[in-house]
């Protein structure tokens, strides 16, 4: 079988042309399409940094070696990985290479006349012949006109065609996919996304320092933040007493934008909009408002401290850091909105509303390390270099005293997590999406067909042709013939 095949020299241009033809061929496009489906799978099975960074961190701690290899193949960032990008970029190049020439061709075809009537109509679908009078072509023209066919009059015969919308829809659909891709990339290059926890009664000012997390697209700078302020007046969360599941979250806010102040309400499905920027109500929790005094009775710290919820009943953890006390004091805290004591695991919350709130804590003294320059989480206290002073718990209004001072739980306020997103590309993606559905509808439901009629020596011949075997031609020709025979 070893037969030498002589391969002609292609040269650079020839090779490029060959590669382009291969890439834009339908078979390659199909393989790329299937490949993209398969390539999307690992991202749903392996935790992803964009959807679940905590799970990725856990995975890395648990399986460091495996994680190293995963990271080498970008398996924690599948949808931004070089190989995933390669597939969709190639797919879109292939798509453009296929769709653009077809669009030009289709544009020409739409302005051209229908093709001439074939010589032998008898070989086509629904062929029939019958005797009739001389005005038959007028009746045929009238029927074609009524049914909006495009007609080529060849004297003794008519060639009519309909259903260009099918190809138009097909091309529009594919072009709209390009628009969606442009919208998505535009949004990720020029957008921004951030989150901030705001206590009820406090104000959020839209500057970078107000954010807990903030990330910009590659090409947008922090100058692009829309100047607005949101004061959180009130927040109410309702829960179902039977299942403890949340029923409704609602926040009342006072918004200042462009020098105008107005009040608004926010809900989960009802964000605030400032141009391209939208502000979402994303999560909620509690901030114990505490006063910490030193041994002399002077206030060393006072204010709300956001605690992070750990479960559906909003058992929350947090840290209270008092660098101004001498010695410095820190609290590792746990807050429960509805306290219930269990045998094993200390306090748990049995309902997410503030029915019987309680703050439990351990007290630590020593250098909190806030000036060391190493960034710390505000929700955690590193106790490795600290000395334990004691354990305590307080309910609202109560004060707990220890040798170095005291802590008072004044009250508890809810906090809300605002998610602030700017996406200048989403309107393009939306338009693309709408056009895609419309294009699909006309390309999958549209029928392209031709009908011919020719005068012969003993009457007329009629025949038709439906592209892609579209159904319904039979009924249409029946209707046509009835009209020709003057039966309706």
Partner 1 sequence: MQTTWAYISNYFVYSAMALFTISFIAHAFETAFAVRAPEVADSTEGNLLVKTLDYKRTEKTARIATAMMILGFLLLLAGVVARGISAKHVPWGNMYEFSITGALAFTGAYLAALRKYDLRWLGLFVSLSVLLTLGTAITLLYRNSAPLVPALKSTWLVIHVTSAIISGGVFLLANVVAAAYLYLERVESRGPRPLWLQRVPSLEVLDQLSYRLVAFVFPLWTFAVIAGAIWAESAWGRYWGWDPKETWAFITWVAYAAYLHARVTVGWRGRRAAWLCIFAGSTFLFNYVYVNVWGTGKHTYSGL
Compute the least distance from the CB of residue 190 to partner 1, in Å.
15
The owner of tokens 């049995």 is 350
The binder of partner 1 chosen from 3, 120, 243, 345 (CB under 8 A): 243
Q: Does 33 bind partner 1 (CB under 8 A)?
A: yes
* Cα first-last separation, the chain: 70
Cα–Cα distances (Å) from 32 to 26, 87, 228, 235, 378, in that order, read 10, 6, 45, 49, 47
Question: For residue 283, which phi and psi values (nearest 5 degrees)?
Answer: -155, 170
Cα–Cα distances (Å) from 54 to 47, 60, 61, 206, in that order, read 9, 10, 11, 26
The binder of partner 1 chosen from 154, 240, 311, 324 (CB under 8 A): 240
Q: Does 470 bind partner 1 (CB under 8 A)?
A: no
> Which of residues 84 and 452 has its CB atom nearest to partner 1 in the complex?
84
Q: Does 271 bind partner 1 (CB under 8 A)?
A: yes
The binder of partner 1 chosen from 268, 299, 355, 475 (CB under 8 A): 268
In the stretch 420-459, what mask flags binding to partner 1 with x, by CB under 8 A? -x-x--x--xx--xx-xx--xx--xx--------------
Compute the least distance from the CB of residue 38 to partner 1, in Å.
8
> Which of residues 33 and 189 has its CB atom nearest to partner 1 in the complex?
33
> Six-digit token pair at 218?
């590659």
The binder of partner 1 chosen from 96, 184, 214, 283 (CB under 8 A): 184
In degrees, to the nearest 5, what angle opens at C-alpha 199 toward C-alphas 197 and 200? 135
163 CB-near residues (< 8 Å, 6+ apart): 446, 447, 448, 449, 467, 470
The binder of partner 1 chosen from 144, 249, 415, 428 (CB under 8 A): 249
Residues 336-395 that bind partner 1 (CB under 8 A): none
> Which of residues 151 and 175 has its CB atom nearest to partner 1 in the complex?
175
> Which of residues 177 and 308 has its CB atom nearest to partner 1 in the complex?
177
Compute the least distance from the CB of residue 344 to partner 1, in Å.
24
Q: Does 79 bind partner 1 (CB under 8 A)?
A: yes
Q: What is the Cα–Cα distance from 417 to 207, expressed in whole angstroms?
A: 16
> Which of residues 184 and 347 has its CB atom nearest to partner 1 in the complex?
184
Prior bond to 220 cis, omega within 30? no
Q: Does 212 bind partner 1 (CB under 8 A)?
A: no
Q: Does 280 bind partner 1 (CB under 8 A)?
A: yes
Compute the least distance from the CB of residue 30 to partner 1, in Å.
5
Q: Does 152 bind partner 1 (CB under 8 A)?
A: no
Q: What is the Cα–Cα distance from 402 to 131, expressed in whole angstroms?
A: 113
Taking the CB of residue 396, how many other CB atoms lie within 10 A of it?
A: 16
Please give the residue ranges that form the binding site for partner 1 (CB under 8 A).
26-27, 29-30, 33-34, 36-37, 40-41, 43-44, 48, 50-52, 55, 78-79, 184, 193, 240, 242-243, 245-249, 267-271, 278, 280, 282, 419, 421, 423, 426, 429-430, 433-434, 436-437, 440-441, 444-445, 468
């Amino acid at each position: 079988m070893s037969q030498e095949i002589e391969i002609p020299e292609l040269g650079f241009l020839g090779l490029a042309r060959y590669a382009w033809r291969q890439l834009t061929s339908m078979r390659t496009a199909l393989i790329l399409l299937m490949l993209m489906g398969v390539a999307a799978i690992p991202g749903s099975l392996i935790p992803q940094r964009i959807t679940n960074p905590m799970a990725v961190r856990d995975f890395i701690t648990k399986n460091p070696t495996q994680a190293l290899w995963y990271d080498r193949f970008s398996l924690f960032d599948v949808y931004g990985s070089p190989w995933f990008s390669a597939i969709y970029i190639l797919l879109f190049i292939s798509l453009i290479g296929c769709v653009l020439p077809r669009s030009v061709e289709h544009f020409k075809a739409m302005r051209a006349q229908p093709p001439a009537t074939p010589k032998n109509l008898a070989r086509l679908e629904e062929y029939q012949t019958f005797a009739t009078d001389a005005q038959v072509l007028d009746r045929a023209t009238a029927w074609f006109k009524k049914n909006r066919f495009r007609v080529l009059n060849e004297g003794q015969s008519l060639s009519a065609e309909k259903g260009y919308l099918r190809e138009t829809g097909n091309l529009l659909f594919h072009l709209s996919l390009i628009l969606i891709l442009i919208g998505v990339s535009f949004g990720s290059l020029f957008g921004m996304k951030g989150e901030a926890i705001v206590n009820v009664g406090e104000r959020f000012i839209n500057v970078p320092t107000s954010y807990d997390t903030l990330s910009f697209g590659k090409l947008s700078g922090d100058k692009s933040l829309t100047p607005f302020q949101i004061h959180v007046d009130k927040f109410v969360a309702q829960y179902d007493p039977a299942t403890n599941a949340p029923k409704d979250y609602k926040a009342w806010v006072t918004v200042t934008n462009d020098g105008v102040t107005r009040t608004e309400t926010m809900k989960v499905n009802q964000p605030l909009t400032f141009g391209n920027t939208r502000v979402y109500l994303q999560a909620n929790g509690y901030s114990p408002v505490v006063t910490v005094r030193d041994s002399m009775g002077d206030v060393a710290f006072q204010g709300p401290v956001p605690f992070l919820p750990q479960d559906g009943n909003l058992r929350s953890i947090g840290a209270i850091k008092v660098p101004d006390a001498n010695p410095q004091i820190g609290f590792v805290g746990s807050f429960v909105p509805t306290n219930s004591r269990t045998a094993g695991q200390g306090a748990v919350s049995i309902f997410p509303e503030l029915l019987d709130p309680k703050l439990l804590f351990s007290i630590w003294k020593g250098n909190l390390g806030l000036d060391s320059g190493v960034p710390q989480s505000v929700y955690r206290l590193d106790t490795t270099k600290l000395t334990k002073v004691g354990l305590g718990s307080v309910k609202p209004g109560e004060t707990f005293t220890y040798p170095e001072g005291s802590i008072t739980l004044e009250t508890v306020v809810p906090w809300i997590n605002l998610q602030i997103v700017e996406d200048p590309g989403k309107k393009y993606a939306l338009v693309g999406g709408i056009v895609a559905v419309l294009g699909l509808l006309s390309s999958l439901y549209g029928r392209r067909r031709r009908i011919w009629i020719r005068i012969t020596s003993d009457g007329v011949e009629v025949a038709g042709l439906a592209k892609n075997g579209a159904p319904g031609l039979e009924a249409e020709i029946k209707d046509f013939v009835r009209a020709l025979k003057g039966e309706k």
